[in-house]
Structure formats: structure tokens, C-alpha cells
Structure 1
Amino acid sequence: MISLDLSAAFLIGLMGGMHCFGMCGGIMTAVAIQAPTAQRLPLTTAYNLGRISSYMLAGAASGALGATLDLHQFPILRLLAAVMLILMGLYLAGWSTWLSHVEQAGRGLWRCISPLGKRLLPVRNVRQALALGMIWGWLPCGLVYSTLTWSLASHSWLDGALIMGLFGLGTLPVMLATGWFSHSLKGLVQQQWLRRLGGMLILLWGCYNLSLTLPSMIPALPLHLSVSH
């Protein structure tokens, strides 16, 4: 099942690229524009490696937490993951804004760490770019939170880290291109049909996983209740 989750995480990152552009496109453009042409690729690559490293750290923590919950017999975590994907698909397609409220959960942490990122601007070397990416990886994002639920459901710190790492790699093509073609990409990702296509694909994936999870919960329910009593 974990191999399927890894593939799904990569596809979610790839399909959610337009959302990543909206969330991180500004900082990526700033890093690229302020860098000499010869330094542009190393700096934007380092920034994204830092960002993905933070995703993997969060995924490892989430997977470790899932392991302590011991809910293998009652897969409520996978149900939550499927529901979060459905909400993310609706959000990306522009059919619901409910998931934006979930992003508010991380605002407090972001207010504490975002000043550290501002001190690293303008980025002049790879170490600064890497550190900036690691900080920016904690930016409150519904897409990241949705994928983190899969890390939580993996019941493993290693699997959780791998899921978030593959998700980060999925976002990489759009994010690297942002540093070079930000103006062209801006017009592309603002196309309503493209946003809806990406949203619908994530929505369908969430519905598919929901259809797999619900039947498995029916026989598990009596067992779960008996253990509770």
C-alpha cells in the first residue's frame, strides 16, 4: 500500500503545482531575480531542497505520531486522508473555500518563524537559499496539510518522510520553472480550466481512496468497539 501512497503523493504534488505557484511563487521569483544568471539554478535548487527537507521532517513527525495512535484495526486516519484530498480538490477547482480555514491552524507558528526567513533576503549563496527553503517549507498550506494526513495514516516515521518527500518532488517542476519563467507561468496557472483540471484529478483520487476505506471500516467497527469496552 505504501508504494501506492508514494505514487499518489508525487501526483498530488505535480497536480497541485499551480497552488504551490500561488503560495511560494513570490519568494521563488525573488530568489531568482536577485541572483546572477550563473547562480540562478544552484540557488533555486537549494531553496527547493530546503523546502522538501522541511516537508520530510514534518512527514516523519506525522508518521511517528500515527504509529503511537495504533489505529490499524479502525482506519480512521485513512478516512481522514481521503476526506482531506476531496476538500483539497474542491479548493483547487474553486468550488469550495473550506480548506482555507484549515490553513489558519499554522498561522501562529508561521508568525514566529517567518521573520527568520526575511533576514536571509537577499539570498547570496547556496547556504542562505537552503536555509530559506527550510523555513518556507513551514508556510501554512492546505495542500501540504492534506498530504500530511497520508503520512499520519502510514503509521511509520520513515514512510511518512518518504510520502512528503515524493510530494515535494512532485511540486519541483513547477517551482523550478517559476524561477525562470515566472511571468509566463503566472498567466498559465491562472487559467480556470487548468486549476479545475488539477482540482478534479485530486478530487477523484480522494473519492477513490474513500471508496477503498469505507468498506474496510465496516468489519473493523465492531472490533474497535469491543476493544474500547
Structure 2
Amino acid sequence: MNDMLTPSLLTAFTVGLLSSLHCLSMCGSIMGALSFALPSQTQQRWWYLSAYILIYNIGRIGSYIIIGALLGQVSETLIKQMFLHDGHQLLSVLTIVMMLMIGLYLGGWFSQLVQLEKIGKPIWRYLEPLGRRLMPVDTLPKALAYGTVWGWMPCGIVYTMLLMAVTLGSAIDSALFMLVFGLGTLPTLLASGLFTSRLYHFARNPTIRRWIGSLIVLLALISLFFWFQHSQNQEHATHHHTMHTQE
């Protein structure tokens, strides 16, 4: 298993949990519309409503896993063919840089990240009408199908996380990374279906967004510090081994 995987999974869950307020501000209205479109008897039974919302999100996370696996397979093939020297170090730095970008974006200091959404718009142009045909979502299979379509909606943060997943260089690791990221977003989006209006306004609060962005930036800088320390230790160990061999 990739040496980068364990810390990467922790990063994926943390970013998912913290960035889910951004997801809520972007998609909370969709969750609310889906919830209110359900039959009144479903809305009145919170456990039944929760089942629908959970199934939506299972479909969404399933799409993240599929996309992650596909891109991870491409990455794995390219890395094997290119045999990059010090590729592990380069990919580690790229992961930290992208985490930093997410923090700056959430804090409102780097709006350019939204440009990534243009990548998925051609695909979304074909999938969005399919999602509309599934409305009203009045059965659990429809909820799963709608969630699966929803997972392909263009999103700068999701795309950045996919780029981070690709740096792992493995279809399985990339899919697992996106699964853990999706699980990180789950608590907030589950709650959004039950308490839409309150959470929606909370998520759009600029002060809250700046605090969350600052926290992710701090985590990225801490990761960079530990990466630098690890690199220095490896360089020292390599130098010591070389000197010992020459003796």
C-alpha cells in the first residue's frame, strides 16, 4: 500500500468535513428541494426522510469513487510508464499545494479555483437532463440514481480533491481517497436535508467560511512542515549511508 495513503486519507476526511459547508451553500437548496418534493407522509417521518437523504448521498459518494478510480488508473499507468525520479516527493508537494488552494478558496482569497468547474461542464450538460427526468424523487431507487447523477455536478473543491487523489498513483487508493472525502462531507449534507434553512444561512456566513478556510490553510502549512522535516531526515539518512558505504 502507498506510504502516502494513511496521511492522505486523514487529509481527505478533514477537508471533506470542513469543506462540506461550502457543499451545503452550493447544493443545500437541491437537498431542500428534494426533501420538500417528497410525499407529505415521508416528510413527517424523520427516519423515512433520513433514509431518502442517505440514499441520495450514497449515490453522490459512489460517483466520487468511480471518478477517482478511473483517474487513478490513468495516473497509475502514466507513472509506471514515466518512471519519474523523486516522483513520490513531487506528488506529496502537489497534494499540499492543492490543499492550500482549497483553504484559500473557502476563505474567499482564491476565487480562481472555480475555473476548474469548466472541466466538467460538457459532461454535466448531458447528465443534468437525466437528473431532471428522475424528478420527482419518490422512491429509494430514484433517490440513488439522482444522487449518482448529482455526484457529477461540476465543483471546484471536488475536482481539486480528485487531483489530490490522482497523486496517489493507484486506482484503488484514489477510489478510497474519494470515499473518505465523501464520508467527510456526509454529516453536514445529511443534516441539511433535515434542517435546511438554518444550516444554509450558517454555511453562507462569510466569517464562518474565513475561519474554515484559515484552518485548512493551517493544516496545509503543518503538512508542509512535516514533509520538509521528513525530506531532511531522508536526505541525512541517505548521505550517512553513502558515507558509511564509501568507508
**Normalised by the size of structure 2, how large is the TM-score?**
0.82
AA in 1 matched with 2:74: L
2:31 counterpart letter in structure 1: M
Asked if 1:144 corresponds to 2:158, the answer is: yes
Q: Residue 25 of structure 1 contacts residue 175 of structure 1 at CA under 8 Å; is this kept in 2?
A: yes
CA distance in 2, matches of 1:72, 1:103: 31
Residue 45 of structure 1, aligned match among 54, 62, 74: 54
**1:41: how far off?**
1.2
CA–CA distance in structure 2, aligned partners of residues 78 and 57 of structure 1: 23
**What is the SS of the residue equivalent to 1:105?**
helix
Asked if 2 retains the 8 angstrom alpha-carbon contact of 1:10 and 1:167, the reply is: yes
Distance (whole Å) between structure 2 residues aligned to residue 206 and residue 60 of structure 1: 24
- 1:163 deviates by 0.6
Trace 1:35-184 onto structure 2 (pairs within 5 A): 35=38, 36-37=42-43, 38=45, 39-70=48-79, 71=84, 73-74=86-87, 75-184=89-198
Which one has the largest radius of gyration? 2
Task: Flag the 1:54–1:72 CA change in 2: closer, same or farther, 3 A.
Answer: farther
Deviations 1:136-182 (A, max 9, x none): 10111111112112211111111111110010011011101111101
Q: Deviations over 1:8-64 (max 9, x none)?
A: 101110000111102221221111112222331111110000000000111111221
CA distance in 1, matches of 2:136, 2:162: 30
- Name the aligned partner's letter for residue 33 of structure 2: A
Contact 1:81–1:146, Cα closer than 8 Å, also in 2 = no
Count of residues paired in the alignment? 219
Which residue number corresponds to residue 7 of structure 2?
A: 4
Given the alignment of the two structures, is residue 204 of structure 1 paired with residue 213 of structure 2, yes or no?
no
Aligned to 1:226: none
Counterpart AA for 1:57: I
Where 1:16 maps in the other structure, the secondary structure is helix
CA distance in structure 2 between the aligned counterparts of 1:50 and 1:72, rounded to whole angstroms: 38
2:146 match: secondary structure: helix
5+ residue gaps in structure 1? 220-229
Which is worse superposed, 12-21 or 59-68? 59-68
Deviating more after overlay: 207-216 vs 97-106: 207-216
Distance 1:142 1:72 in 2: 30
Once residues 116 and 73 of structure 2 are traced to their aligned partners in structure 1, the CA distance between those partners, rounded to angstroms, is 22
TM-score, reference length from structure 1? 0.88
2:23 aligns with one of 10, 13, 20: 20
Do 2:25 and 2:204's aligned partners in 1 also have CA atoms closer than 8 Å?
A: no
**What fraction of aligned residue pairs are identical, expressed as a percent?**
40
- 1:68 and 1:17 map into 2 onto residues whose CA distance is 32
Q: CA RMSD in A?
A: 2.0
